[in-house]
Amino acid sequence: MDRADNRVLVAMSGGVDSSVTALLLHRQGYDVVGITMKTWDYATSGGQRKTTGCCSLDDIHDARALAVDLGFPHHILDIREEFGEFIIDNFTSEYLSGRTPNPCVLCNTHIKWNALLRRADLLGCRWIATGHYARVRQENGRYVVSKGRDAAKDQSYVLWGLSQAALARTLLPLGGFTKAEIRQIAREAGYENLSRKAESYEICFVPDNDYRAFLRRRVPHIDEKIGPGVFVDSKGQVVGRHQGYPFYTVGQRKGLGIALGHPVFVTRIDPDTNTVYVGTEEDLKKHTVFVRDYNLIKYPDIKEPMDVWAKIRYKDPGGPAKLLAEGNMLELQFQTPVSAVAPGQSAVFYEGDDLVGGGIIV
């Protein structure tokens, strides 16, 4: 099917960001098609199944109502099976391997964009669009992602895994706006309730924000299979017992249940021996971070060491570092040591506002 140059498939979660994305593109003359992805069901306390993911059932209704109001078609795409098989299984296996996963990055990279592009082809859409606060442009034969104007809402961090082919068809209309401006646009368009809609900062498939409870539901008899282990300090001394290594993350301070007379943090996790190592805040600091499974966006490769601004987690303000290629990995050498480097999380690096790339911390 020939794709109309102005037809765009908009991912609509029912929230204010994706709704205003559709509204803005509609105003700009695009032939908008809305789509809402069902990604996960979870059991409520009453035993009923509730759809979550990017959207609850109420959110799906809100997305459809906006599409009806503006006069464009809306579809629901059920990706629960592929989402569960990849994202949920990876989330679980990473914790069981002693690492701290970042499911949002993997979902964008391997599930959402691929699902959107496949459905865009079926619906004759040249473009796909999302409500991420980031920008994309073409420069020197590459599609480059850069930070959104609203520094507090910038979401370029979670887009480091996208391919050039995916970026070539991606529109990010919110990149030049602040969150306050997006809410104002919704209000002025007559969508007062939408403009006030609260945001969710939880992992979409962990609605109570308790990953430990999720693991216990997901892995039958996990407590019996793994059992308690020991906390070991930097001197190799056993200083306490823990509930099992999957229930701890590097950098964690609260909930350890040990009192040593000074603050202690999780510094390392050894799943083979069910040992959780603890130490001081100073013990958490590292100058060098290695990343695997990386993806480069602004440049096709890293031939020479380059100066970047690197982040080791989403809310990390980041710091200056030297980026080098090291075999099949990349190496980040930070000028000032970074704290609580958690294997499994994403390290992302920038040149100015432009996203150079990212990878999974080893």
pLDDT band (50, 70, 90) for residue 57:
confident
Nearest to 316 by CA among 279, 287, 345, 288: 345
pLDDT attached to residue 40? 80
Number of H helices, E strands in the chain: 11, 18
Record the pTM. Answer: 0.91
46 or 295, which is more confident? 295
Name the residue among 213, 194, 193 with its Cα closest to residue 202.
213
DSSP secondary structure, 139-158, as one string:
ETTEEEEEE-S-TTT--GGG
Looking at residue 4, what is its pLDDT? Answer: 65
Non-local (6+) Cβ contacts of 163 within 8 A are 295
Higher pLDDT, 199 or 354: 354
Task: Determine the pLDDT at residue 58.
Answer: 86
CATH number for the region 284-361 comes to: 2.40.30.10
CA dist 192 and 5 (Å) reads 32
| pLDDT average, residue stretch 248-262 | 95
- pLDDT reported for residue 42: 55
Give the pLDDT of residue 204. 84
Kindly list the distances between the CA atom of residue 82 and the CA atoms of 52, 94, 107, 111, 176, in Å, as whole numbers in the listed order: 15, 18, 10, 8, 33
Q: Please give the pLDDT value at position 208.
A: 80
| Radius of gyration of the CA atoms of the chain, in A | 22
What's the pLDDT at 2? 47
Q: In this structure, are strands 125-129 and 4-11 parallel, antiparallel, or unpaired?
A: parallel
**3-state SS assignment for residue 95:** helix
Supply the pLDDT for residue 51: 46
> How does residue 56 score in pLDDT terms, banded at 50, 70 and 90?
confident
Q: Where does 220-280 sit in CATH, by number?
A: 2.30.30.280
In terms of Cβ atoms closer than 10 Å to its own Cβ (0-12, 13-18, 19+), residue 98 is: buried
Q: Which residues on adjacent β-strands are paired with residue 240?
A: 231
For 131, phi then psi, to 5°, come to: -95, 30
User: Residue 47 pLDDT more than 50?
Assistant: no
Distance between CA atoms of 150 and 176, rounded to whole angstroms? 8
pLDDT at 314: 93
pLDDT tens digit sequence for 158-182: 999 999 999 999 999 999 999 999 9
- What is the overall mean pLDDT for the chain? 93
Q: For the chain, which residues make up each domain, given as ranges? A: 4-195, 220-280, 284-361
Is the pLDDT at 5 greater than 90? The verdict is: no
CATH number of 4-195: 3.40.50.620
3-state SS assignment for residue 324: strand
pLDDT of residue 209: 84
Percent of the chain with pLDDT over 70: 95
pLDDT at position 200, please? 73
Residue 201: is its pLDDT beyond 60? yes
Task: Indicate the pLDDT class of residue 52, thresholds 50, 70 and 90.
Answer: very low
- With 0-12 CB in 10 A as exposed, 13-18 as middle and 19+ as buried, what is 327? exposed
The token pair at 330 is 């990349």
Secondary structure in 3-state letters for 224-287: HHHCCEEEECCCCCEEEEECCHHHCCCCCCCCCCCCCCCCCEEEEEECCCCEEEEECCHHHEEE
For residues 297-308, give the mean pLDDT. Answer: 97
Q: pLDDT at position 163, please? A: 98
DSSP 199: P
Give the Cα separation of 235 and 289 in Å (integer). Answer: 23
* Residue pLDDT, tens place only, 30-46: 999 999 999 887 554 44
Q: What is the mean pLDDT of residues 59-84?
A: 94
Q: How far apart are CA 134 and CA 230, in angstroms?
A: 43
Residue 332 one-letter amino acid: L
Pairing between β-strand 319-326 and β-strand 306-311 as defined by DSSP bridges: antiparallel
Residues classed as catalytic: 107, 204
The rounded distance, in Å, linking the Cα atoms of 194 and 198 is 9
**Average confidence (pLDDT) over 36-65:** 70
Q: How confident is the model at residue 55, as a pLDDT?
A: 56
Alpha-carbon distance of 64 to 234, in angstroms, equals: 56
In sequence order, what DSSP letters do the residues of 281-319 get, joined into one string?
TGGGEEEEEEEEEEEESSSS---S-EEEEEESSTT---E
Q: Can you tell me which residue has the tokens 């789509």?
A: 35
| pLDDT tops 70 at residue 1 | no
Give per-residue burial for 257-279: e unless 16+ CB within 10 Å, then b.
eeeeeeebbbbbbebeebbbbbb
Chain centroid to Cα 279, Å, comes to 28
Q: List beta partners, residue 8.
A: 32, 127
